[in-house]
Amino acid sequence: MALGRPVIFDPVGVGASQFRMNSSKRIVSELHLTVIKGNRAEIGCLTGRGGKLAGIDAVTGPEDLLTAAEDLSKTSGAVVAVSGPQDLIVFYRQKVIVENGHPMMARVTGLGCILTALIGAFAAVEDDPMVATVGATAFLGLAGEQAALQAKGPGTFKTTLLDILFTLTPEEMGQGIKLREETLGG
């Protein structure tokens, strides 16, 4: 961010090896990150609060995911986005849960990477990283909901999702976004 550009970090499979863990912790401690995005296991592993991966997919996460995300946000200074059935986004004392999405999204490989790319795109044009992260996450979730209405299975779902990402309008976003916001204590 020193050059005025957002830095988005997705610690894919951070718990899969010691090398990934050490490299990820070094990135978090040495760089000024704008957003850290991971699944519950990746965020749990990165914070030392536990998480188990099967390849790059989350099997389990920390017992208290909110506290893990809060701690990571505080220590890194970054927005922390935790993808899952309901996406959790934390920054300092703000917490937003994005309730957009569809179960089919968990059956399609690469959607976490698409979310990271969308967060980067949104952060490139929105100065507030929390707003950018929430917007990108809701945008993908809403597109997933619409794709599920048309898809016959995971293959057609992914293709339809890509088409909807291309055609989703700001008006549809405004009408379909589902958020829960809270201010955290302390």
CATH code for position 89: 3.40.1190.20
- At 95-107, the pLDDT tens digits run 999 999 999 998 8
Amino acid (one-letter) located at 181: E
pTM strictly above 0.85:
yes
- At 121-176, the pLDDT tens digits run 999 999 999 999 999 999 999 999 999 999 999 999 999 999 999 999 999 999 99
Average pLDDT of the residues in 45-74: 74
Of the candidate ranges 3-7, 59-63, 89-93, 178-182, the one whose mean pLDDT is the lowest:
59-63
Residue 3 within a domain: no
Average pLDDT of the residues in 37-64: 73
**Residue 91 φ/ψ, nearest 5 degrees:** -150, 115
**148: which 2 tokens?**
């599920």
User: What Å distances lie between residue 165 and 4, 90, 96, 162, 168, CA to CA?
Assistant: 27, 24, 22, 5, 6
What is the tally of structural domains in the chain?
A: 1
Helix (H, G, I), strand (E, B) or coil at 123: helix
| Residue 20 structural domain | 8-183
